[in-house]
Amino acid sequence: MNIRRLGSSPQIPIIVILTLIYWCGANSIAPFMSLFVKDINLTILQTSFFLGGVAITRIIIQPIIGLFIGKINENHAMTMALLLLALSSLSYALFKNFYVLLGFRLVEGIAMGSFMIASRILINNFSYNEISVINNYSSGMKNLGTFMGPALAGLLIESMGIKSIFFVSCFIFVIGFYLATKIQPLNSKQIDGTEDLSDTQKIPKRVPYLFFIMLLHSIEFIGLGLWLAGWPVYANSELNWSSGKIGFSFSIMAISGGAIVYLIGNKFKAFSKLKIIIGLTLLAIPPILVIHAKNNELLIWVGLSLGGIGATIYFANFHTYISTLLRKKEVPIFYGLIGTFTFAGQAIGLALTPILWANFSYGIPIIVDYILLILDSCLYLLFFYVPYLYKQVVN
């Protein structure tokens, strides 16, 4: 990666590196939270609340965060977010009381929402004319962080126990906190004040359009919640995979997605709508293979790799497409509202998983994830390419 090409502002390389740090820290613990709650013997109800705690918090507070961050320096919000993430990670290692852990889980949700909104504001303000390239580099760093985090965590769990990963994630977030203090505040001279609405000018009513996009995006997050909570336990209980192997399964998805960043960013910049649909379709491959090809481990690894490619394609192009619809002053509130939609979806997925375990089997959340991803890709296809439906939504 040529870091000097990352936008016209020197802030962009710092933000991209912080993306790596954030996802490395977050994904050193997120894939193993279902194993953590199993280790500390929470009830089904407590497990649902704990696993869904981050998402529930972001449902309620993220629009408020969006409004608040829009009125202050984004670097302050990012710095505070990383500090709170470090504190919440440390709490998981030190405390055993459910209510204390749940409290810090809610703090973690506030911090994650703040980081994501602040980073989106900074990227959109400093690199508007190069947003497609920057989004793909940012996705590359996300994939690299998601590769490093679970791989490291899986090895630590096998040698030092489940709580060791929280000390590591705390240290990672502290490094991020220090680096975030180096970001210079935005000022009016740094922000291009033009209001190029691009595709927005072709949309008679933008609010219904954006609302429907948020709804479709949230369906993907229901599936994500089911996968994050369901896959580690399914792999451990049904496939007899070790913690290290489960960690590497998340890593292989990340690194395979990162491998195509240059391709989708530099050679195929157009067709964002089509790539959104392709990404979702590829994301549906891992859940169907781990259920129906569980005796063929090689095929499972191939499926996980394709899913990682799908995730990179989907998220990079979703944010690039959204950037063509938003005025810059709308970025904070939009990403605040989309947090409510998407993490409502993730909360549903996370909270539903232990209920499905108790009433059916460890494989049912994985199957539901597959169904939702296929449904979502079909809905995007209809919305983008069926003129009648499009006109009904935006007129």
- What was the pLDDT predicted at 260? 62
Where do we find the tokens 């995730």? 311
Alpha helix ranges (H) inside 28-163: 33-39, 44-51, 53-69, 74-94, 98-126, 131-160
Long-range CB pairs of 40-45 (<8 Å, 24+ gap) are 40/96, 42/98, 44/354, 44/355, 44/358
CB 66 within 8 A of CB 335: yes
Q: CA quadruple 24, 333, 187, 128: dihedral positive or negative?
A: positive
Packing angle, helices 131-160 and 297-323, rounded to 10: 140
The CA–CA distances, whole Å, from 174 to 18, 70, 238, 385 equal 11, 25, 37, 46
- What was the pLDDT predicted at 87? 93
- What was the pLDDT predicted at 11? 67
Coil, helix or strand for 8?
Answer: coil
- What was the pLDDT predicted at 9? 57
User: CA 260, CA 80: separation in Å to the nearest integer?
Assistant: 33
Q: What is the CATH number of the domain that holds 94?
A: 1.20.1250.20
Would residue 5 count as lying in a domain? no
Q: CA quadruple 148, 128, 263, 390: dihedral positive or negative?
A: positive
User: CA 323, CA 129: separation in Å to the nearest integer?
Assistant: 10
Q: How far is CA 21 from the centre of its chain?
A: 14
For 244-270, give one letter per residue: b (16+ CB within 10 A) or e. bebbbbbbbbbbbbbebbeebbeeeee
Radius of gyration over every alpha carbon of the chain, rounded to an integer in angstroms: 20
Packing angle, helices 98-126 and 44-51, rounded to 10: 20
Alpha helix ranges (H) inside 238-330: 243-258, 261-262, 272-283, 285-292, 297-323
Packing angle, helices 331-359 and 44-51, rounded to 10: 160
Determine if residue 6 is left, alpha or beta; phi over 0 gives left, psi from -120 to 50 gives alpha, anything else beta: beta
Q: How many residues does the chain have?
A: 395
User: CA 126, CA 186: separation in Å to the nearest integer?
Assistant: 9
User: CA 346, CA 352: separation in Å to the nearest integer?
Assistant: 10
Question: What is the domain range of residue 86?
Answer: 12-184+198-394
Would residue 139 count as lying in a domain? yes
Local structure of residue 386 (DSSP, 8 states): -
Single pTM value for the model: 0.67
- What was the pLDDT predicted at 373? 93
Q: How many domains does the chain have?
A: 1
Token code pair at residue 43: 């009830």
Give me the phi and psi of 163, to 5 degrees please: -75, -15
Where do we find the tokens 């209510």? 99
- Nearest Cα residue to 180 out of 64, 307, 25, 28: 25
Give me the phi and psi of 260, to 5 degrees please: -105, 10
Walk along the chain (395 residues) and give the pLDDT tens digit of each residue: 444 444 445 667 777 788 888 888 888 887 788 778 877 888 878 887 887 777 677 777 777 777 676 555 677 788 888 999 999 999 988 888 888 988 898 898 888 888 888 887 777 666 555 665 666 667 667 767 777 777 778 778 878 888 888 998 999 999 989 888 877 655 544 444 434 444 434 443 566 777 888 888 888 888 888 888 888 888 888 888 887 788 778 777 766 666 665 555 544 455 678 888 988 999 999 999 988 887 888 898 988 888 888 888 888 788 778 777 776 667 767 777 777 777 778 778 877 888 888 888 888 899 999 999 999 999 988 888 776 554 544 44
Local structure of residue 363 (DSSP, 8 states): T
Token code pair at residue 72: 């202050």
User: CA 337, CA 84: separation in Å to the nearest integer?
Assistant: 22
Would residue 68 count as lying in a domain? yes
Packing angle, helices 53-69 and 74-94, rounded to 10: 160
